[in-house]
Structure 1
């Protein structure tokens, strides 16, 4: 069984700042990490690898050359192989162009049974790339996976909803997007770290993929970001004291003064 995992290197959002003049993220000097939901996706693939003897796990990412470090982290967690899709032509891609490129890479690998991806990336929060990849590969998809069982070529999934979950059965090949409730990602293995840095990670460029230039990168991206900015901090809160009745009275008075009620 061949399992592919789509991963992304993202800036640590606890330290992201925005250039006020350009309206873009300042990535220089900001540490990069494996996208959290993608770590859950990888973990589920590794669990299957431990359960079945014939499972191989390959991680795939589209990104700049420095994404190689994140891929080696995935190898140190237990993945068998990694592939980096990197080319200047891929730069500036929105979700549509990104999914075109990744789908072309997965199509080149071929013969996959399950594709795992994270629900969404923390630097964009769109949750669109995974489903778009499935559409372009022409395979079924189940998003927001919080539980997963495999029986032969049939997959039974608990799909997370706001007020519960739904159970879906689907045959492979299939793409599944993971949420954090699915599992607890493992740490890198000390013994695997050395092997990860000795392993060759191939880089596939535009020339290696069966895809046209008008389907990738900024020019192929219909999404246009008008503005990026840091929200203004909220005003200082007001603490009200007194009995429950007194506090309710004070709240009503203030709401009337602000013409809210």
Structure 2
């Protein structure tokens, strides 16, 4: 009777060992389906929140995410000439001769002064910043709860006349205007395509933009005029241009 019992115990031990081996192998071979975000969890205070995501690694991570999300998009929203001129990257003769890509324009602003992170309805995360020395111009990036997937992006900007392409190209003027820039801001929301447009996210982004414009307007004595005249546009990086 002892021999069958011994064999049964040995078989159980072997099965346990094989099961453990398969578990280890699975953990070793199976890659992570979704890469982990380098973003920290949202801190309790606004000051900590602003500094947490603007640290070098999270900031670089989010700017790369934004660039990939906006890659292939077009349009003239932000000039990078002033920064490049101050850094000696271009000369005065080069001003207005090149048009930066959409990712470059966005990160020109998003790489500026950070706002505290916010959590939106639907557990989306909102990251935003204003352009250095110009907080009337702002960028916003919306991600999922993990910070891995970008849902939407946006720019508060002032539409201005510009000279696209070669230095001898004619200046593109605004419709019905002869001055260089409009007096009131435009908020442009970017989605990848019409299929990815999210009404809940759009509504919350517009509410954010109105609050920022109102705050800036009060600080600059523009009052309610800026907020009341805020133009909202939706652009699609891929697919039809507007929605």
Please identify which structure carries the higher helix content: 2
Specify the structure having the higher radius of gyration (Cα). 2
User: Structures share a fold, TM > 0.5?
Assistant: no
Please identify which structure carries the higher strand content: 1
TM-score (norm 1): 0.24
TM-score (norm 2): 0.26
Determine which structure has greater relative contact order: mean sequence separation of CA pairs < 8 Å that are 6+ residues apart, divided by chain length. Answer: 1
